[in-house]
Structure 1
Amino acid sequence: MMDAVNTKHIYKAAFLITGIISLAACRKDLLVTVPTDRISTGIYWKTDVDATNAANAVYTYMDGVNLVFWDGLSDIGHFNTTGAAFAPIDQGVADAQNGEFAAQYTTCYKGINAVNNFMANVDRITVTNATLVNSRRGEVRALRAYFYLKLAGWFGAVPLVTSNITIDEGTQLTRTDVATIYDYIGKELDTAATLLPNTQTDKGRITKGAALALKARAMLYAGRYTEAAAAAKAVMDLNVYSLYPAYKQLFTYAAENNSEVIMDKQFVKDIYSNNIFSSMAAASLASSVAQVVPTKQGADEFEMANGKAITDPASGFDPYHPYDNRDPRLHYSIYTPGDTLVNGKVYNPIPGSGTADAIGGGNLYATTTGYNVRKYINPEDLSAPGNSGINIIIIRYPEVLLTYAEAKIELNQLDQSVYDAINQVRARPDVNMPPIAAGQSQAQLRAAVRHERTVELEFEGLHTFDIRRWKTAETIYPGPIKGITYVKGGVLTTVVNSSFIRSFNPQRDYLWPIPQQEIILNKNLVQNPNW
């Protein structure tokens, strides 16, 4: 969570130092002259500042706006345009040549290469501040674990590269089994945590809490529930993080660097900006297409304010007024018909409404479901929607609480701490949902914590990974895309996009394919099943 001034200097240095990262990956016998267009490793790696700048370069490979995109590959979201490279993945018709598979794979390994280069050279500097340099070591090692966690989640077994290698060596790599990848992730994050402080002066740098929270996430994904619960508890016991009182403000400029942000990617307008507004806002707010829109499943997951599911006959749900008396997080996360947009106008996507947001109204940028994502959409970005400076959150404290609860539930350790963790999330002042009642079975609590993760963390890049590790994607994902239900001629009518049919092959789609270009370059890489 770097403040604006610190972020400005960090990213300027990061762009400069990226050239060093690339240069150091080359074979030493090719460095026969001192380059004039970049900094040579022959004159770099001298001071603490060099270590800081090289660590800064690694941060540029962290995820940003694409986190929101990932939930478009789940039941709660949908890619709003078939022109996007993600759309074939969303439909289940992509092949191993799809550019998004390659982009994720390549970006992760670029980040890993940057870390490996840092670790290969950092001991060359003359250290004047050992605490600072050790922190930088911890930061980059935690980030390397983060990159491997994404690779394991998307692709399963991948090559484990922990030091600089030559191009020739790169073409001989084999895939390391995913259990070993998770072993490595856990050990790296343990080591990183010992090197890192609880807080950083430069907001946005990895902290001890971030390393431990990443370990909790990784071990949950690996099904190592004892380790997941322990890592989550370690974050809780730091007493550094707490729930921010207003969920409604969590994704606004006013709430940046708040008490529950554990790890984020920092942005600054005009210096290092993002396009979250132009990529996700309603059509009437921005002249760009909303890449991902919520689905009926995503909206219906939110309970009534009394804590009952809308499918419960006793819930009081009124299909003619479907968005009244709901879990407040529905309106904080999703734009539903009748909500007020950040420009002060009423959101009206109903077919035939004549607004820029109307479904089927001729505006190619309009939502196809009648919903739009609300998180990160702020009035400060109305005038320059492609130049947003809002920070993108990677880990929030509620995820840690819910990871702790889920891990304990899977271990069948159904003590009071499980209820406390879930209910703490539900009891946020401007959410104030009824607590989960005591005395529930493992199956009931499993359903409760999965629900809570879904609604609390919608469009934060976690749900797609969740439905894959839960092995529920094959059941809840396939079929046509459904949207809002509205009154048409006195009859309740649900929007159904029957031209976009999702499929999910459980024998194939729980893992992405190794990108075809990698298979071509390296004959030792074996493709994932059925790709």
Structure 2
Amino acid sequence: MKKYISIALLAGGSLFAGCSKFMDRKPVSDIAPDQFFNNEKELRVYLNSFYSAFPSAEGVYNEDIDNIVKSSMGDNITGKRTVPVTGGNWSWGELRKINFFLENYNRVMPEQQAAKFAAVAKFFRAYFYFDKVQRFGDVPWYSTTVQQKDEAALKKARDKRTLIVDSILADIDYAIAKIDNEVPSTEMVTKFTALALKSRICLFEGTFRKYHPEMNLPGWEALLQKSVEASEALIASGKYKIYTSTPSKAYLELFASIAPIKDEIILARNFSNELQVWHNVNYYTITSSYGKPGLEKQLVNSYLMADGSRFTDISRYDTITFYNETQNRDPRLSQTIRTPGYSRIGTTNKLPPDFGASVTGYQLIKFVTDLSFDSFNRSINSMPVFRYAEVLLNLAEAKAELGAITQADLDKTIKPLRDRVGMPNMNLAAANATPDPYLAAQYPNLSGANKGVILEIRRERRVELVMESYRWNDLMRWKEGKAMLRQFKGMYFPGIGQYDLDRNGKIDVHIYEGTKPSPAVSGVQYFKLGTEIDLENGAAGGNVIINRNITKVFDETRDYLQPIPIQERLLNPNLTQNPNWNDGL
């Protein structure tokens, strides 16, 4: 009996791969191998379907761990995660598509000609399994499609994490060697995309093994060295650089650009009015409909001063009000949140932060474009999936963790990021001589001779990559899940009263007790203390407190891995559960 596979919507990757005549073909419900895979065009059409594995726009910008907080919290922070009956990210449909392709791609053409297509498929298999390892650790490795009557495969036990990672690296090395596309493309997987993925995989797994000794996973040094080599190979290609224009705008422009800026963006998810494919980032940041996301106080405090000194070294830094705390800071702060003097792209109207759209008062502007895209689900700026800045940060971190970092390495990796915004470079000797106590308190698992520079690289990573959804995996690999247990905070207010946040002579916020002041003044945001806004010390002031009554929980013995769904374990009794997830089986 012939094997068939559904290839409906095989052109689903068109917003990455560009338009072609194959995008106009009607979906085909069932295709037998001998009716497809006959030429390069058909192979490319099939490969397009793999691009849907990349995160949606929301999967990029909708970060809500401890960098960005909202009026509610996810189950992964509140300890309400339970073992799911079904779902729970234990999905294997994408892998089946990939393996089916790898079984049939060279059916009618010589391997030498077809290998470049297999290389892209193996890139996606590496990407698929990397996601599974981050979530579950040990998982079954399947290199072929599983048939309905294949009891051995259907009841396969979980393979060791070490075997899975070795297999991932074999796939990604094949992709790097065989992908023939050596011209940068923000829509298609290239050799450079594969190098960027290897850089990411090896940094994650190397640091995870280093900071989780309880799991007895060997070889963290070798993995970090592989991350270094992949990063250096991509840098040496000379194909990418950090986008620059003017220090006060370059960082903001990178993320507000409709088309991905090819100097820095290695691969992006694109959107289009013409194709009626949109996302929601403008609406997300300017309305109260999505939890009123705002930058959290600890991260705001972590931005350096414009001269490279530490904000948290200033006396009583924790009682500095909004206008003063935003002056002379790393320009990325004013290109990530509304600060005094902010105006929307394409306008000159100065806008203060809107507490109605930001629970902390630190209102997001990263990814926000002009007013024409403010309606629900009408944004079309591209979303980065891989960008050069991450690769630079990966290289700096991997070398620092290996104890091999030099000032020349920082000059090659951190300096371009700082140069973009006119900031002084990181100094290796100074960082290690005086580690920042504010950062050290955030990462208690970190020690050693390079503690100071690793702290500074983590600061740089957090600032540069905020709102791009790296934070959860960073905390997991560093074994710093408890960072989420602290009380989340927003702006500081010394007490009840009226506040001109941007010092333009107009009151922006009025915090009151009792009856709301009357008559209300247009443009003033009124908040009743204790019901509409919560300050640490009540009428005596303090930071805005977010979700004071929500208890946060992180189980160090359990929560670094996700649970296997109950139904999967019932169907396959050889699937063991992750430690300390009680599913009753």
Cα deviation for residue 235 of structure 1 reads: 0.9
Mapping for residues 62-77 of structure 1, pairs under 5 Å = 62-68=54-60, 71-72=63-64, 74-77=65-68
Q: Say if 2:490 is the partner of 1:486.
A: no
Decide whether the 8 Å contact of 1:479 with 1:501 is kept in 2: no
Q: Which letter does structure 2 place at the counterpart of 1:526?
A: T
Indicate the larger mover: 377-386 or 134-143. Answer: 377-386
Which residue in the other structure is 2:569 paired with? 519
Q: Say if 2:420 is the partner of 1:437.
A: no
The TM-score normalised by the length of structure 2 is 0.75
3-state SS, counterpart of residue 252 of structure 2 = helix
3-state SS, counterpart of residue 303 of structure 1 = coil
Which residue in the other structure is 1:144 paired with? 125
Q: Which letter does structure 2 place at the counterpart of 1:146?
A: Y
Cα deviation for residue 374 of structure 1 reads: 2.3
Decide whether the 8 Å contact of 1:226 with 1:407 is kept in 2: yes
Structure 2 unaligned runs (5+)? Answer: 1-12, 207-222, 245-249, 433-449, 498-539
- Distance of aligned partners of 1:279 and 1:470 in 2 relative to their CA distance in 1, 3 Å threshold: farther
3-state SS, counterpart of residue 419 of structure 2 = coil
Which residue in the other structure is 2:262 paired with? 258
Mapping for residues 420-459 of structure 1, pairs under 5 Å = 420-429=411-420, 431-439=421-429, 440-441=431-432, 442-459=450-467
Cα deviation for residue 322 of structure 1 reads: 1.7
Decide whether the 8 Å contact of 1:334 with 1:373 is kept in 2: yes
CA distance in 2, matches of 1:11, 1:111: 21
Over the matched positions of the two proteins, sequence identity in percent amounts to 26
- Distance of aligned partners of 1:173 and 1:317 in 2 relative to their CA distance in 1, 3 Å threshold: same
3-state SS, counterpart of residue 116 of structure 1 = helix
Cα deviation for residue 120 of structure 1 reads: 1.2
CA distance in 2, matches of 1:58, 1:330: 36
Which residue in the other structure is 2:76 paired with? 89
Which residue in the other structure is 2:509 paired with? none
Q: Say if 2:204 is the partner of 1:221.
A: yes
Cα deviation for residue 165 of structure 1 reads: 0.7
Q: Say if 2:480 is the partner of 1:469.
A: no
Per-residue Cα deviation, 1:422-467 (whole angstroms, up to 9, x for no partner): 43233333x1211112425311111111111111111112121111
3-state SS, counterpart of residue 488 of structure 2 = strand
CA distance in 2, matches of 1:255, 1:432: 25
CA distance in 2, matches of 1:98, 1:15: 36
* Count of aligned residue pairs for this structure pair: 482
Decide whether the 8 Å contact of 1:247 with 1:428 is kept in 2: no
- Distance of aligned partners of 1:42 and 1:67 in 2 relative to their CA distance in 1, 3 Å threshold: same
Per-residue Cα deviation, 1:344-394 (whole angstroms, up to 9, x for no partner): 555545xxxxxxx435xxxxxx33222343222212652543133322211
Decide whether the 8 Å contact of 1:135 with 1:197 is kept in 2: yes
Which residue in the other structure is 2:287 paired with? 283
Which residue in the other structure is 2:236 paired with? 237
Cα deviation for residue 206 of structure 1 reads: 0.8
- Distance of aligned partners of 1:202 and 1:471 in 2 relative to their CA distance in 1, 3 Å threshold: closer
Cα deviation for residue 168 of structure 1 reads: 4.5
Which residue in the other structure is 2:189 paired with? 206
Per-residue Cα deviation, 1:225-281 (whole angstroms, up to 9, x for no partner): 111111111111111111111212111235514211122223323526242326632
Mapping for residues 388-427 of structure 1, pairs under 5 Å = 388-427=379-418
Cα deviation for residue 401 of structure 1 reads: 1.2
Decide whether the 8 Å contact of 1:404 with 1:421 is kept in 2: no
Q: Say if 2:368 is the partner of 1:377.
A: yes
- Distance of aligned partners of 1:11 and 1:370 in 2 relative to their CA distance in 1, 3 Å threshold: farther
CA distance in 1, matches of 2:116, 2:283: 35
Which residue in the other structure is 2:306 paired with? 305
Q: Which letter does structure 2 place at the counterpart of 1:76?
A: N
CA distance in 2, matches of 1:247, 1:130: 43
CA distance in 1, matches of 2:16, 2:470: 30
Q: Which letter does structure 1 place at the counterpart of 2:469?
A: G
Decide whether the 8 Å contact of 2:267 with 2:387 is kept in 1: yes
Decide whether the 8 Å contact of 1:278 with 1:289 is kept in 2: no
- Distance of aligned partners of 1:400 and 1:124 in 2 relative to their CA distance in 1, 3 Å threshold: same
Decide whether the 8 Å contact of 1:67 with 1:459 is kept in 2: no
Indicate the larger mover: 184-193 or 310-319. Answer: 310-319
3-state SS, counterpart of residue 400 of structure 2 = helix
Decide whether the 8 Å contact of 1:241 with 1:260 is kept in 2: yes
Per-residue Cα deviation, 1:501-520 (whole angstroms, up to 9, x for no partner): 32211111111222333223
Decide whether the 8 Å contact of 2:120 with 2:179 is kept in 1: yes
CA distance in 2, matches of 1:272, 1:110: 26
Mapping for residues 165-204 of structure 1, pairs under 5 Å = 165-169=146-150, 171-197=154-180, 199-200=182-183, 203-204=186-187
- Distance of aligned partners of 1:519 and 1:65 in 2 relative to their CA distance in 1, 3 Å threshold: farther
Q: Which letter does structure 2 place at the counterpart of 1:51?
A: L
Cα deviation for residue 59 of structure 1 reads: 0.5
Cα deviation for residue 496 of structure 1 reads: 0.7
- Distance of aligned partners of 1:5 and 1:187 in 2 relative to their CA distance in 1, 3 Å threshold: closer
CA distance in 2, matches of 1:201, 1:445: 32
CA distance in 2, matches of 1:167, 1:310: 60
CA distance in 2, matches of 1:392, 1:61: 14
CA distance in 1, matches of 2:185, 2:261: 11
Which residue in the other structure is 1:43 paired with? 35
Q: Which letter does structure 2 place at the counterpart of 1:209?
A: F
Cα deviation for residue 13 of structure 1 reads: 6.8
Structure 1 unaligned runs (5+)? Answer: 20-36, 350-356, 360-365
3-state SS, counterpart of residue 499 of structure 1 = coil
Q: Say if 2:89 is the partner of 1:104.
A: yes
Decide whether the 8 Å contact of 2:184 with 2:190 is kept in 1: no
Per-residue Cα deviation, 1:17-53 (whole angstroms, up to 9, x for no partner): xx6xxxxxxxxxxxxxxxxx55444422222111001
CA distance in 1, matches of 2:51, 2:332: 30
CA distance in 1, matches of 2:340, 2:39: 57
Q: Which letter does structure 2 place at the counterpart of 1:489?
A: I
